[in-house]
């Protein structure tokens, strides 16, 4: 491979936000008097656009209520940030620093808002390593559609064959594959190794530091 650009997912890949997200979702469900959902059910929607999370959890929900869910979620999530601080996963800060020093271009494509991404990466101490952000408000078609990757390629002026997409969920792998890039699944997030394999990940790693060997290797894991 001749990888020059690495596009990261955020939640579950760089940032450990599971507790924040699940806690917030369950508080929204309680406040709006919806049927209770388990931690596992809530966590399974991480990576999807916010509205799609609630559509997945409540297939028969009315569209009007989805908008209320999303608005309530944003309010409660920001309130919870004062009490539950998301952190970078082990090895993330050091690995991003090393990749940047090796002249890789590093970007993020996430289903959360760009404003949230800039704030969270700043708080985690990784913002300086990221050259470009794509948030849910920047695209019309979210993961697993390729638009977040294609817009990043256009903005950063790289080709798909020079790009690696890294994420913890099947939607991340499918997004990269649909755009024609190589893909790398990570096992410390919200998806399982089996789900990443089924999605067709070219590589699967168990530690962030293992990513340093991926762009120069020629064989899938």
Exposure string for 81-93, b = 16+ CB within 10 A, e = fewer = beeeebebbebbb
Residue 31 contacts residue 72 (beta carbons within 8 Å): yes
Output the six-digit token pair for 83.
């009490």
Q: Is 155 exposed, middle or buried (0-12, 13-18, 19+ CB in 10 A)?
A: middle
Question: Is 172 one of the annotated active-site residues of the chain?
Answer: no
Pairing mode, strands 15-16 and 87-88? antiparallel
pTM to 2 decimals? 0.89
Pairing mode, strands 163-167 and 5-8? parallel
Per-residue pLDDT of the chain (221 residues; tens, 9 = 90+): 689 999 999 999 999 999 999 999 999 999 999 999 999 999 999 988 899 999 999 999 999 999 999 999 999 999 998 888 889 999 999 999 999 999 999 999 999 999 999 999 999 999 999 999 999 999 999 999 999 999 999 999 999 999 999 999 999 999 999 999 999 999 999 999 999 999 999 999 999 999 999 976 544 44
Q: CA torsion sign, 30 to 85 to 128 to 171?
A: negative
CA distance 207 to 191: 14
Catalytic residue among 9, 11, 168, 172: 9
Look up tokens 């890039």; give the residue: 181
Residue 185 contacts residue 220 (beta carbons within 8 Å): no
Ordered domains of the chain (ranges, CATH): 5-16+86-213 (3.40.50.1000), 18-80 (1.10.150.240)
CA distance 143 to 70: 18
């Amino acid at each position: 491979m001749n990888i020059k650009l690495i596009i990261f997912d955020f939640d579950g890949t760089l940032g450990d936000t599971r507790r924040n997200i699940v806690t917030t979702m369950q508080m929204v469900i309680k406040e709006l008097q919806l049927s209770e959902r388990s931690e596992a059910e809530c966590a399974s929607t991480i990576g999807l656009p916010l509205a799609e999370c609630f559509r997945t959890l409540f297939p028969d929900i009315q569209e009007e209520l989805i908008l209320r869910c999303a608005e309530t979620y944003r309010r409660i999530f920001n309130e919870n940030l004062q009490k539950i601080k998301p952190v970078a996963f082990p090895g993330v800060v050091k690995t991003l620093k090393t990749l940047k020093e090796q002249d890789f271009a590093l970007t993020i494509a996430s289903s959360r808002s760009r404003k949230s991404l800039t704030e969270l990466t700043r708080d985690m101490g990784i913002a300086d390593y990221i050259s470009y952000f794509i948030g849910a408000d920047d695209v019309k078609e979210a993961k697993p559609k390729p638009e977040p990757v294609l817009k990043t390629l256009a903005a950063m002026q790289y080709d798909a064959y020079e790009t690696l997409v890294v994420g913890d969920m099947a939607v991340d792998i499918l997004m990269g594959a649909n755009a024609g890039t190589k893909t790398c699944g990570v096992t410390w997030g919200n998806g399982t190794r089996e789900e990443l394999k089924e999605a067709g990940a070219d590589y699967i790693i168990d530690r962030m530091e293992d990513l340093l060997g991926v762009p120069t290797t020629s064989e899938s894991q």
